[in-house]
């Protein structure tokens, strides 16, 4: 029987070169592939000894660290289901995720343990531990006492590996079920397409609670024997300094805007680099051009999503066209269709649908929603609007469902509107994204006051900061007498975008 466990992709690299450096940080030194494998084994043993069984969920809300990477890899290896949670999520958001996913274990930062225990006890009663501190509730301390050997769990291709929550336009988040085969197939396609080798050094400055940093960056490096140069956060000056000893950087458009703000960024500082990749949000053409002029490197844009990992990419060798996301990856099919799910002519706009081994198995505990999002012939409806040009390059020209992408994070207006509408003095609201040079799009709210009420926009923003993750909080709030509506009574967000996006 073939074992499809994603961790085996890394285990093969360990066996071929255990002394090679897998990961390097500015504070913790270097970790060789053999050492990484031993640490992952210890964590896998610690998780299993805590009583977790195959298929149990492990919710993780911790900052970026070597320990958090070890926990992720240990979950894969042990056949557990990894559930990453953005560190910006607040208690109301977390309560939903816990009740929906019912994790068997929750990992948090030490200062969050008491609050998370209270939340867990009020809902599912799951055990809460810390990822790194010492003490009885420290997973790291328990792992240190465990064996450095562990037999990787046998996983079928369709076995669940990760649940990634992606917000829905109705305000209810959906858990995208990502399988071992989804991860394996996408990792192989990307390393082939972007020509990763064991000689690469990937500067990793992304967070690891979403697909870009967790899957794309980690898998490309660790499944090819490359080295991860680990930054716990993005700092433009630190990144520029480390470009000289790196070969690849993955980032969101915001990163490239901020790098251009560094005087030290030049052709000389990028002399060792072979590839800059951008994704998670549209890259402005002027950013693309300015970066090439400064560095001599043309950024490679790609297209992906939580439900499918990476879908398309501009070519490694060949023309990288600004404003496009390139061609379908090996093993991935992409079509642009009309309302009847029929392909439209080249150059016409339509709904983007995808099919392939990379496409997730469905939404956690939402069978009806899963059926709605797949066509009768098995294509997944991405919700994006796009067009193919005559040369086969795909461009994303809009988003159905009014998704906002700010700084690489997905924000769905309905969720924000529901919170705003509950505030005192608010009659109704509409949330849109407007162009922003740094974030790509800025979350912007348009609010109508209730009769006789006055709305203090600064106080409203402060109130929202207590209820929402920071990236979801509107950058600006505008108070209007009424929202524009069409004949059917639907708010015309396109009109608001035209008014405020100038």
Per the structure, the count of domains in the chain is 2
Sorting pLDDT into bands at 50, 70 and 90, what band is 26? confident
Residue 58 lies in a domain: yes
Single residue among 103, 120, 154 that ends a domain in this structure: 154
What are the tokens at 275?
Answer: 């590839």
Single residue among 154, 188, 206 that ends a domain in this structure: 154
* Confidence check: pLDDT of 224 > 90: yes
Any idea what the CATH number is for the domain that residue 111 is in? Answer: 3.40.50.980
Sorting pLDDT into bands at 50, 70 and 90, what band is 173? confident
Over residues 112-132, mean pLDDT: 94
Q: Which helix (H) or strand (E) holds 34?
A: helix 33-49
Query: How much is the pLDDT for 492?
Result: 83
Residue 438 lies in a domain: yes
Percent of the chain whose predicted confidence (pLDDT) is above 70: 96
What are the tokens at 268?
Answer: 């000389």
Each residue of 448-465: pLDDT tens digit?
Answer: 998 899 999 999 999 999
Percent of the chain whose predicted confidence (pLDDT) is above 90: 80
Query: How much is the pLDDT for 1?
Result: 67
Query: How much is the pLDDT for 170?
Result: 45
Over residues 88-94, mean pLDDT: 89
More reliable by pLDDT, 488 or 20: 20
Among candidate residues 117, 51, 53, 111, the one with its CA nearest the CA of residue 87? 111
More reliable by pLDDT, 499 or 267: 267
Alpha carbon 412 to chain centroid, angstroms: 15
Single residue among 154, 177, 202 that ends a domain in this structure: 154
* Confidence check: pLDDT of 137 > 90: no
Residue 416 lies in a domain: yes
Each residue of 295-343: pLDDT tens digit?
Answer: 999 999 999 999 999 999 999 999 999 989 999 999 999 999 998 999 9
Any idea what the CATH number is for the domain that residue 410 is in? Answer: 3.30.300.30
Residue 97 lies in a domain: yes
* Confidence check: pLDDT of 401 > 90: no
Each residue of 471-480: pLDDT tens digit?
Answer: 999 999 999 9
More reliable by pLDDT, 211 or 401: 211
Over residues 263-289, mean pLDDT: 92
Among candidate residues 87, 67, 80, 76, the one with its CA nearest the CA of residue 23? 67
Each residue of 147-172: pLDDT tens digit?
Answer: 999 999 999 999 999 999 986 444 57
Sorting pLDDT into bands at 50, 70 and 90, what band is 415? confident
Q: What is the rounded CA–CA span in Å between residue 235 and residue 228?
A: 16
More reliable by pLDDT, 279 or 32: 32
* Confidence check: pLDDT of 253 > 90: no
Cα separation values, 98 from 84, 91, 93, 105, 395, Å = 12, 10, 9, 10, 37
* Confidence check: pLDDT of 501 > 90: no
* Confidence check: pLDDT of 420 > 90: yes
Of 90-94, 199-203, 370-374, 397-401, minimum mean pLDDT range: 397-401
* Confidence check: pLDDT of 175 > 90: yes
For every residue of 111-180, which 3-state class applies, written as one string?
A: HHHHHHHHHHHCCCCCEEEECCCCCCCEHHHHHHCCCCCCCCCCCCCCCEEEEEEECCCCCCCEEEEEEH
Each residue of 179-195: pLDDT tens digit?
Answer: 999 999 999 999 999 99
Residue 72 lies in a domain: yes
Residue 454 lies in a domain: yes
Query: How much is the pLDDT for 498?
Result: 85
Over residues 258-284, mean pLDDT: 93
Which residue range forms the structural domain that includes residue 112?
35-154
Burial class (CB in 10 A: 0-12, 13-18, 19+), 283: buried
- Supply the mean pLDDT for the chain: 93
Each residue of 475-494: pLDDT tens digit?
Answer: 999 999 999 976 445 688 88
Query: How much is the pLDDT for 172?
Result: 74
Residue 281 lies in a domain: no
DSSP symbols for 303-325: EEETTTEEEEE--SSS---TT--
Query: How much is the pLDDT for 488?
Result: 43
Residue 453 lies in a domain: yes
């Amino acid at each position: 029987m073939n074992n499809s466990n994603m961790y085996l992709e890394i285990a093969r690299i360990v066996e071929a070169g255990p002394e090679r450096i897998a990961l390097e940080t500015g504070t913790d030194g270097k970790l060789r592939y053999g050492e990484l494998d031993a640490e992952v084994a210890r964590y896998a043993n610690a998780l299993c000894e805590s009583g977790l069984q195959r298929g149990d969920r492990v919710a993780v809300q911790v900052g970026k660290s070597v320990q958090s990477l070890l926990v992720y890899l240990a979950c894969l290896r042990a056949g557990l289901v990894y559930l990453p949670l953005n560190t910006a999520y607040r208690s109301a958001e977390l309560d939903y995720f816990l009740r929906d996913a019912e994790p068997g274990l929750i990992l948090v930062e030490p200062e969050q343990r008491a609050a998370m225990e209270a939340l867990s006890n009020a809902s599912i009663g799951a055990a809460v531990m810390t990822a790194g501190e010492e003490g009885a509730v420290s997973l790291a301390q328990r792992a240190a006492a465990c064996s450095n050997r562990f037999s990787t769990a046998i996983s079928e291709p369709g076995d669940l590996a990760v649940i990634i929550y992606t917000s829905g336009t109705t305000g209810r988040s959906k858990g995208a079920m990502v399988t071992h085969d989804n991860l394996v197939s996408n990792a192989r396609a990307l390393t082939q397409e972007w020509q990763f080798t064991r000689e690469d050094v990937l500067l990793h400055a992304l967070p690891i609670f979403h697909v870009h940093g967790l899957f794309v960056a980690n898998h490309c490096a660790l499944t090819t024997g490359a080295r991860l140069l680990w930054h716990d956060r993005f700092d433009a000056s630190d990144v520029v300094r480390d470009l000289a000893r790196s070969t690849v950087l993955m980032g969101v458009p915001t990163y490239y805007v901020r790098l251009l703000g560094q005087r030290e960024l030049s052709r000389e500082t990028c002399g060792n680099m072979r590839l800059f990749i951008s994704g998670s949000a549209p890259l402005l053409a002027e950013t693309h051009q300015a970066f090439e002029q400064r560095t001599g490197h043309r950024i490679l844009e790609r297209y992906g999503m939580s439900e499918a990992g990476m879908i398309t990419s501009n070519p490694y060798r060949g023309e990288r066209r600004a404003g496009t996301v390139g061609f379908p990856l090996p093993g991935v099919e992409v079509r642009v269709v009309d309302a009847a799910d029929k392909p439209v002519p080249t150059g016409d706009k339509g709904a983007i649908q995808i099919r392939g081994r990379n496409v997730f198995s469905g939404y956690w505990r939402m069978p009806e929603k899963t059926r709605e999002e797949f066509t009768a012939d098995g294509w997944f409806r991405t919700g994006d609007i796009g067009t193919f040009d005559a040369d086969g390059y795909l461009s994303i020209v809009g988003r159905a469902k009014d998704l906002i992408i700010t700084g690489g994070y997905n924000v769905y207006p309905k969720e924000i509107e529901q919170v705003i509408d509950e505030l005192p003095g608010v009659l109704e609201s509409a949330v849109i994204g407007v162009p922003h040079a740094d974030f790509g799009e800025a979350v912007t709210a348009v609010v109508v006051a209730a009769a006789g009420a006055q709305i203090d926009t600064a106080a409203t923003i402060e109130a929202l900061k207590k209820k929402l993750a920071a990236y979801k909080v509107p950058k600006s709030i505008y108070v209007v007498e009424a929202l524009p509506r069409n004949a059917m009574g639907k708010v015309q967000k396109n009109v608001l975008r035209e008014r405020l996006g100038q």
